[in-house]
Amino acid sequence: MKIDPIKNGIVIDHIEAGKGMEVYNFLNLAELDCTVALIKNVPSKKTGKKDIIKIDADIELDLNVLGYIAPEVTVNIIKDGKTVEKSKVALPETLKNVIKCKNPRCITSVEQGIEHVFTLTDKEKRVYRCIYCESQA
Ligand code: ZN
């Protein structure tokens, strides 16, 4: 299958196969007015298969969110049909209002209007803990 190359926009490449939809939902891409293509199971030399998301607009992506759900991806910025920037995302040290604490007794569950903040406590295992009650995300 061929997808038209984009002129100005963003390509999220090397998404783990099958995870494209999750990334799409997490980044709220359904709310965009521009062309967004989610391409699944693209043959990849490195991993066998991968998903790719192409966004035909120069938008601000939340790389923190992206780093949390898909730290393996590469983000390519396209200008005038050429890749002008290629960057790897990384696991963010802190997550603010990305995920919610599941502990019903946590202050963020009991009171409204408190920021949901998690910090990375184990890089290897990708463990995040709530800064208020230390519950694992
Ligand atoms: Zn908590």
The answer, yes or no, to whether residue 32 has pLDDT greater than 80, is yes
Task: State the CB neighbour count (10 A cutoff) for residue 48.
Answer: 9
Cα of 131 to ligand 1 centre, how many Å?
Answer: 7
Please give the distance, rounded to the nearest whole angstrom, from the Cα atom of residue 28 to the centre of ligand 1.
24
Confidence of residue 128 (pLDDT cuts 50, 70, 90): very high
Cα distances from 41 to residues 26, 49, 137, in angstroms, run: 19, 5, 29
Pairing of strands 9-16, 74-79: antiparallel
**What pLDDT does 24 receive?**
96
Match 């920037």 to its residue by tokens: 85
- Residues, CB-to-ion distance under 5 Å, ligand 1: 101, 103, 106, 130, 132-133, 135
What is the domain partition of the chain in residue ranges? 9-88, 94-130
Q: Is 72 exposed, middle or buried (0-12, 13-18, 19+ CB in 10 A)?
A: middle
Q: Say how far apart CA 35 and CA 15 lie, in whole Å.
A: 19
Give the pLDDT score at 64: 86
Token pair of 53 as six digits: 């998301």
Residue 114 Cα to ligand 1 middle (Å): 11
Rama region for 133: left / alpha / beta (φ>0; ψ in -120 to 50; rest) = alpha
| Ligand 1 mean position, distance from CA 76 (Å) | 35
Q: How far is the CA of 125 from the centre of ligand 1 (A)?
A: 19
Q: Which of 54, 52, 45, 50 is nearest to 16 (CA)?
A: 50
Say if residue 129's pLDDT is above 80: yes
According to CATH, what is the number of the domain 9-88?
A: 3.30.70.140
Please tell me the predicted confidence (pLDDT) of residue 1. 61
